[in-house]
Amino acid sequence: MSGTDMSVVTEVPDPVRMPPERPSWRTRLRGPAVFAAVAVLALVVAPLLLEPFRLGLLAKYLVYAIVALGIALAWGQGGMLVLGQGVFFGLGGYAMGMYLKLTEAQGGLPDFMVWSGVETLPALWTPFANPFFALAMVVVGPVALALVLGTLVFRQRVRGAYFAILTQALAAAFVILLIGQQGLTGGTNGLTNFFELFGQDLALDSTQRGLYLAVVVVLGLLYLGTRQLVNSRFGRLLVAVRDGEDRVRFLGYDPATVKTVTFAISAGMAGLAGAFFVPVVGIISPALLGVVPSLELVVAVAVGGRYALAGAVLGAVVMGYAKTIFSEQFAGGWLYLQGALFILVMTLAPKGLLGLLRRRKEVAR
């Protein structure tokens, strides 16, 4: 436009005309400083201080934190309440489990198949003997499923509670499918009795410590990557889709594409987490990925603070520890406590623990 006449609407009478907030170097450095401190804690201090059993537990919580990161992206940023992340977690976990079972069977049949009278290796299993295929499937499987599902569902403008219920139903159906295929999946017991990973004895403390460190590094990288995405144009678009999907169409974007891509990314993260879970915990089974575990992770994200990625990680670790402690003390009580905590957070502190921490800091300043 050549004739941009500045006099047209320059004098704006308004109460909000203030210079833009330019963050001081102090506030700008706070994020990286906290990240570095947490990284040192996780990579150096924790392995030194925690006995192997406790370190293993922390590794498990951090695996869940990877799923939580994906939930924070899809739900907190994108407004998609994903209640069935266990499905993707399971796909990743089973891909890894199948690979481990096949390397241990050394060309023979995995133990549970022998017990259930299977005589030849099912065709579905064969390619998983290849580590590259199996590791690729850890991410490709969940991403592909999420892409197909997202394309079908979001194009039909299914959203809100309908989408949430759909993902939950998917988790329920997945569990039924797994249990029904005893010879193929190990049924209710799932896949367990793993002894080695890439030639390393899984029972050794050093292997477990290595796994723990790998989980920390992967979580850290995913955190940074997700943060980058959230701060990008795509991240802004995602927030726009969350807050006004119908308006976004008139900006020339298809919200279905934006949501599908985001859903697929969160699914990929869940799949990767599932793959780590197998060697860290030593089992993958339907009970670990059904409706309840999927829901627990969403609760953890809500408690930690779904609008911030760090909140999701915090929530996964805090709720993981809380569950362990309370289950040790009074079994069964955890479910109620968890529910109460969830309601409390959703009503009193929608930004979760992280929101509370940040508010205190702001008040203190």
Is residue 168 exposed (0-12), middle (13-18) or buried (19+ Cβ within 10 Å)?
buried
1 binds another protein (CB under 8 A): yes
3 binds another protein (CB under 8 A): yes
Name which position in 16, 161, 331, 363 contacts another protein (CB under 8 A).
Answer: 16
Name which position in 10, 24, 120, 329 contacts another protein (CB under 8 A).
Answer: 10
123 binds another protein (CB under 8 A): no
Name which position in 20, 32, 199, 332 contacts another protein (CB under 8 A).
Answer: 20
Query: CA angle at residue 221 from 268 to 88, to 5 degrees?
Result: 15
The answer to whether 112 touches 245, Cβ cutoff 8 Å, is no
Name which position in 252, 328, 347, 364 contacts another protein (CB under 8 A).
Answer: 252
253 binds another protein (CB under 8 A): yes
Least distance CB 142 / another protein (angstroms): 20
Residue that is written with structure tokens 């690729």 in the block: 136
Instruction: Produce one character per residue of 188-227: b if its CB has 16 or more CB atoms within 10 Å, e if not.
Output: ebbbbebeebeeeebeeeebbbebbbebbebbbebbeebb
158 binds another protein (CB under 8 A): no
Considering only residues 46-65, where is the footprint of another protein by CB under 8 A?
none
Q: What are phi and psi of 262, to 5 degrees?
A: -65, -45
240 binds another protein (CB under 8 A): yes
Question: Residue 257: CB partners within 8 Å, gap ≥ 6?
Answer: none
316 binds another protein (CB under 8 A): no
- The 173-212 site mask, x for binding another protein (CB under 8 A), equals ----------------------------------------
229 binds another protein (CB under 8 A): yes
Tell me how far CA of residue 19 lies from CA of 16, 22, 71, 362, in angstroms: 9, 8, 35, 20
Residues of this chain that bind another protein (CB under 8 A): 1-6, 8-14, 16-18, 20-21, 228-229, 231-234, 236-237, 239-240, 243-244, 247, 249-254, 257-258, 261
